[in-house]
Structure 1
Amino acid sequence: MDNHQEVSMDVEAQIEKNDDSRTLPFSNFKKANLPITLKFENVVYTVKVKEPKSWLCQTKGKTKERTILKGLTGIVKPGEILAMLGPSGSGKTSFLTALGGRVSEGKGKLTGNISYNNKPFSKGVKRATGFVTQDDALYPHLTVTETLVFTALLRLPNSIKQREKIKQAEAVVSELGLDRCKDTIIGGPFLRGVSGGERKRVSIGQEILINPSLLFLDEPTSGLDSTTAQRIVSILWELAHGGRTVITTIHQPSSRLFYMFDKILLLSEGNPVYFGLGSNAMDYFASVGYSPSVERINPSDFLLDIANGVGSDESQRPEALKAALVAVYKTNLLNNVINEVKGQDDHYNHSIENSGDSSKHFGDWPTTWWQQFCVLSKRGLKQRRHDSFSGLKIGQVIFVSFLCGLLWFKTNLNHLQDQIGLLFFISSFWAFFPLFQQIFTFPQERKMLEKERSSGMYRLSSYFMSRIVGDLPMELILPTIFLIITYWMAGLNPNPVNFFLTLLVLLVHVLVSGGLGLALGALVMDQKSATTLGSVIMLAFLLAGGYYVRHVPVFISWIQYLSIGYYTYKLLILGQYTENQWYPCGENGKLKCYVGDFEGIKHIGFHSGLSSAFALAVMLVGYRIVAYIALMRIGKTKSG
């Protein structure tokens, strides 16, 4: 079978045929499973931009359309690297996102035709595609090997045994020259780990684990020194010459990197200025009257200058030069590009008619729901144990618990007001603490979730449940320690039944408050805004909790029925006292009164305990449902 026949094969059918070949070590499958030719014809991408409000003119912000990409046409074949060059804001990343099938729903309108072996983007193409983002979204506390092993366990299909998946991850570590740092954590801004070049190679390794036929990379050399950048591009060159189609954006490559790219697409404000062989770029611009002012110049520097409207003729305005270059491209190059794109249509159509559709043989996911849940749970525990059980948090909880125990030391029914004050403090403290612990969960993981969901790595439900279940030990251990210390020091009801009822109420309260934090974080997806909103909401709940204000006006009394603290405070009182229980009252405590008649408890009452428990149960489930629905928009693309 020759190369043209291989390229023309149906994407999903060939992926199914070659699934078992992925069990080979990475160094043994230099050739792509399925060569894919990527074509794009007259691609236009338009977004709606909201203009800022004018304070001086008192005008409302209007929404207008802005065209990011303006009619891009071209073709990239297996074995070729296409490098997209252009100034910042020229549309490189937007175009890469469109080619990779990752245009988010509702964010813009994409027109034109993008095809993969003359077929539209599908789940089969998605499984054969690797996409390396610019920001290297990686978990900081995982080592290099752990990062790649977890990726292999999630992305490689069940036709490969777990042992073989791990071997394949280890083979990728060796192939990318990461043996020296394989047991080093990734690190982050405030956590020392691997170098920038090593991080980038780990990101590339995550994608080549699946032996992709298409590989997209957004600024893979950004922020790297020239030697490291050369090594990264050399890896891409080897991958491309194994029959893969590689498309990358790059800002300003050195001259030796420039000549490693097979094709160049030069963009200027979303317009194509040049598309063709990288080796012909300088000759083309010289032929249309644009030559560098000096003999020896980095080709990419020259191309970026003219894309910015800076030419050798200083009298020519930048906007005029840009318009001239676009017009020259349409006159001299566009027809040749269109002919190249159309030249293989007949061959593709013939092969597609005979290839059949094998998509029905594929599941939507490489692994089962349970496998995803288990792997994500294990990965989450490894990553988050450092934050949840940090010395600072443990020390904070133990300090507050002992402080409470000392301030309320051996209080009894002689100081009933003090005791109910302690119960309200417990409900307040364990409302804010889990709220702010959980409110950062999804905003911090947004980039990772977008990246992995866009790759089709796992179901949202398996990720969400792994977070909920995996966080349970971390959420419940600290409040349990707190209560064990404070409860007995403060001299609350010593009956074991009362203690365990109080503990049960506290743990449910913590889970409900944490659920509110998850919901707010998922809805807002901005840490500062979510924190502010959470503080305001919890403060309102606190004021309506039944301790500070006992006679709430009718028109605002509805807040207490939404308050987590209101129901928790009531249940804590019910867990400590009975309505007909005696306490010392009167002058010097010589009289005995009913607890149910105590002023601070009377308005709370000893009724509706079941309804309070039911309200907390509804909140426990409801807040998490809200969080899940809010997360459904993350990683959702128009192309599936």
Structure 2
Amino acid sequence: MGEEMVDMEAAAQPKEIGHGAIFEKSNRPITLKFENVVYKINIKSEGFFNKKKLEDENKEKIILKGISGMVLPGEMLAMLGPSGSGKTTLLTTLGGRLGGNLSGNITYNGKPFSTVIKRNTGFVTQDDVLYPHLTVTETLVYTALLRLPNTFTKQEKVAHAEAVIAQLGLTKCKTSIIGSRNVRGISGGERKRVSIGQEMLINPSLLLLDEPTSGLDSTTAQKIVSTLWEFAIGGRTVVMTIHQPSSRIFHMFHKVLLLSEGNPIYFGKGADAMDYFSAVGYVPTFPMNPADFLLDLANGVPADESRDDQALVKQNLVSAFKTNLAKNLEIELQQPNGNLQGISDGKKHEQWTTTWWQQFSILLERGVKERRHESFSGIKTGQVLVIAILTGLLWWQSDRSHLQDQISLFFFYVGFWGFFPLFNAIFTFPLELSMLEKERASGMYRLSSYFMARTIGDLPMELILPTCFVIITYWMAGLKATAANFFGCLLVLLYSVLVSQGLGLAVGALVMDQKAATTMGSCIMLGFLLAGGYYVQNVPKFIAWIKYISIGQYGYKLLVMSQFKPGETYPCPPNGTCLVEDYPAVKAVGLHGFTVSVIALAIMLVGYRLVAYIALMRIGAPKK
């Protein structure tokens, strides 16, 4: 058996790296079968005064109602149907990405979905989830470096990406950035080809695409489907959902599955679809695009514009399918796959194609390139510099006789540099949710490597700006002009900034909604500052516990301790001196407990990031 079976991971490598390698005939074909696939969801009623609330709470809605079919290597299956017919749900199910109340049998060469199958399956989502500030080449090269196994050298992976660029006709725009709604970049058709190229990089045996022609003109759509047709005839299995293809595109489909409200009403060769519906009594009154005719029928609208009830037309079509096609399809599904080369079970397949360090390094480099435009943007840098200069002027050369002013400066440090990194970090994961879901679902990298790369990549932004802020304000405010005091103040502030960043990461990862996360983060930080020992010095005991979890309290305390020591004095009226530690604003936090404060912030530094990491584990977790 070992000689007959083919190791899919080894077979994923083209025989040579070149422009002709991508569409060579596949030597590890996959026959996809799905039998009686049913998917249900629970419907929860909304509205407090809904009289049927109790009745509807446990009501189920059936999205897929017993869908069956088979796609052979070298075939391209198109799933058609109106919006809400279940096309995307079925496609997601076939890609092993849908859990929940799912029944039926889906096999790949007679075997269930597995890590090996996932590694050789490409999935192109309807929305092009791409980094807008990376070029076409950078996008595909980084994907190749992450997804291709280490049996390729780095140079071969880059060459493989270049080959895909040439095959998909992206050479002219290879140095252009992807772009977005707010950033001018490549065209919509080129973006779609980049998305397809990301999946073609792994030379998949099974390629699934959700609406690959959505939003494109007919000529561009035809070019994309032609490319997919060429990819299929090389021995791959291609399945796509498509809403309303042109007649030229329709005739490229080897097989068509037509859905109506989750029910199959046709499955078979695309060329036989019109003859089948004619045989069951539905004939177009004039020559028209077959796809348009099929969609009209799926909507319950017959071509003769009769006044038949739409529900009745759909019911008749479902019955006709069960009578004329279902039994033959069931017999066909029971037939063996033939002599297709299978998947080797004799070798243990690693879950990841690259090492942790490779993933971390590549993700760090990619993240820095993508965010280089915003890391030190003019707006953020200008904001910090303006506030720093204004702060320095307001506290200009304050001396020990103005002790309250100096202490209030430290609390301003804590407040400003509590909110600034908090808000920057809150948007980190919500903005990348789609990308994280897409890449994690494909098993591209470990969550830990992504998390470390993402947080470390933001450190320059998080640490350089507060450093500049302290350099400007410290000397303008006339604080102690010694290296020990200056660096002590700087290190404490940077320490506090990292903790605030961790809080922002945790809130953003938990909520995953920018507006809600911003509100939640603001409330938490304001609570911490109020309990920080500056505004309220005699906090009631029943709420005093807040100060023990307050970033502001520990940061404020350490900043005060970086400037003052026990036993130091300050001028106080009428003509005497007083101990700094007895000053009310200082006494509230004290000049003792340095180690406890450092440890408390260390626990928060690690704890908040751990919470963020655990919250991210629920997102896009790859299914085995």
Q: Distance in 2 between matches of 1:636 and 1:445?
A: 15
Q: Distance in 2 between matches of 1:290 and 1:9?
A: 48
Match in the other structure for 1:545: 532
5 Å matches for 1:406-555?
Answer: 406-555=393-542
Deviations 1:348-407 (A, max 9, x none): 7xx87xx762341x2211111111111111101101121221111111111111110011
Distance 1:389 1:161, change over 3 A: same
State the number of aligned residues.
621
Which amino acid counterpart does residue 202 of structure 1 have in structure 2? V
Task: Please give the TM-score of this superposition, normalised by the length of structure 2.
Answer: 0.96
Match in the other structure for 2:188: 196
Give 1:315 deviation, angstroms.
2.3
Distance 1:415 1:616, change over 3 A: same
5 Å matches for 1:145-184?
Answer: 145-184=137-176
Q: Distance in 1 between matches of 2:420 and 2:246?
A: 51
Q: Distance in 1 between matches of 2:63 and 2:477?
A: 65
Give 1:19 deviation, angstroms.
4.3
Q: Distance in 2 between matches of 1:493 and 1:624?
A: 34
Give 1:55 deviation, angstroms.
4.1
Deviations 1:323-351 (A, max 9, x none): 22111111111011111111226867xx8
Distance 1:184 1:63, change over 3 A: farther
The range that moved more, 338-347 or 421-430, is 338-347
Q: Distance in 1 between matches of 2:53 and 2:552?
A: 43
Q: Distance in 2 between matches of 1:130 and 1:166?
A: 19
Q: Distance in 2 between matches of 1:160 and 1:483?
A: 48
Q: Distance in 2 between matches of 1:340 and 1:347?
A: 16
Which residue of 29, 47, 56 maps to 1:35? 29
Match in the other structure for 1:130: 122
Q: Is residue 2:614 matched to residue 1:614?
A: no
Q: Is the 8 A contact 1:33 1:211 kept in 2?
A: no
Give 1:473 deviation, angstroms.
1.8
Q: Distance in 1 between matches of 2:252 and 2:607?
A: 55
Q: Is residue 2:365 matched to residue 1:378?
A: yes
Deviations 1:256-305 (A, max 9, x none): 1111111111111111111111111111111111122x312111111111
Which residue of 26, 38, 41 maps to 1:44? 38
Q: Is residue 2:18 matched to residue 1:25?
A: yes
Q: Is residue 2:375 matched to residue 1:388?
A: yes
Task: Please give the TM-score of this superposition, normalised by the length of structure 1.
Answer: 0.94
Which amino acid counterpart does residue 299 of structure 2 have in structure 1? N
Q: Is the 8 A contact 1:34 1:213 kept in 2?
A: yes
Q: Is the 8 A contact 1:263 1:275 kept in 2?
A: yes
| Percent identity of equivalent pairs | 61
Counterpart secondary structure, 1:115? strand
Give 1:314 deviation, angstroms.
3.2
Give 1:50 deviation, angstroms.
2.2
Q: Distance in 2 between matches of 1:56 and 1:113?
A: 38
Distance 1:576 1:33, change over 3 A: farther
Q: Is residue 2:293 matched to residue 1:299?
A: no
Which amino acid counterpart does residue 14 of structure 1 have in structure 2? D
Which amino acid counterpart does residue 239 of structure 1 have in structure 2? F
Distance 1:459 1:26, change over 3 A: farther
Deviations 1:189-216 (A, max 9, x none): 1111111000000001111011111000
Match in the other structure for 2:76: 81
Q: Is the 8 A contact 1:216 1:246 kept in 2?
A: yes
The range that moved more, 61-70 or 559-568, is 61-70
Q: Distance in 2 between matches of 1:225 and 1:109?
A: 37
Give 1:59 deviation, angstroms.
5.4
Counterpart secondary structure, 1:611? helix
Deviations 1:449-499 (A, max 9, x none): 111111111111111111122222221111111111111111112121111
Match in the other structure for 1:358: 346
Q: Is residue 2:301 matched to residue 1:310?
A: yes
RMSD over aligned Cα atoms: 1.9
Q: Distance in 2 between matches of 1:302 and 1:498?
A: 80
Distance 1:64 1:487, change over 3 A: farther
Match in the other structure for 2:86: 91
Gaps in structure 1 of 5+ consecutive residues: none
Q: Distance in 1 between matches of 2:248 and 2:553?
A: 68
Deviations 1:124-157 (A, max 9, x none): 1111111111111101110000000001111111
Q: Is residue 2:590 matched to residue 1:605?
A: yes
Which amino acid counterpart does residue 18 of structure 1 have in structure 2? A
Q: Distance in 2 between matches of 1:395 and 1:515?
A: 24
Q: Is the 8 A contact 1:26 1:209 kept in 2?
A: no
Q: Distance in 2 between matches of 1:408 and 1:392?
A: 24
Distance 1:119 1:26, change over 3 A: farther
Q: Is the 8 A contact 2:396 2:478 kept in 1?
A: yes
Counterpart secondary structure, 1:333? helix
Give 1:48 deviation, angstroms.
2.2
Q: Is the 8 A contact 2:14 2:21 kept in 1?
A: no
Which amino acid counterpart does residue 17 of structure 2 have in structure 1? L
Q: Is the 8 A contact 2:45 2:53 kept in 1?
A: no
Which amino acid counterpart does residue 142 of structure 2 have in structure 1? F
Which amino acid counterpart does residue 600 of structure 1 have in structure 2? A
Q: Is the 8 A contact 1:23 1:168 kept in 2?
A: no
Q: Distance in 2 between matches of 1:58 and 1:488?
A: 69
Gaps in structure 2 of 5+ consecutive residues: none
Distance 1:124 1:58, change over 3 A: closer
Give 1:26 deviation, angstroms.
4.6
Match in the other structure for 1:103: 98
Match in the other structure for 2:207: 215
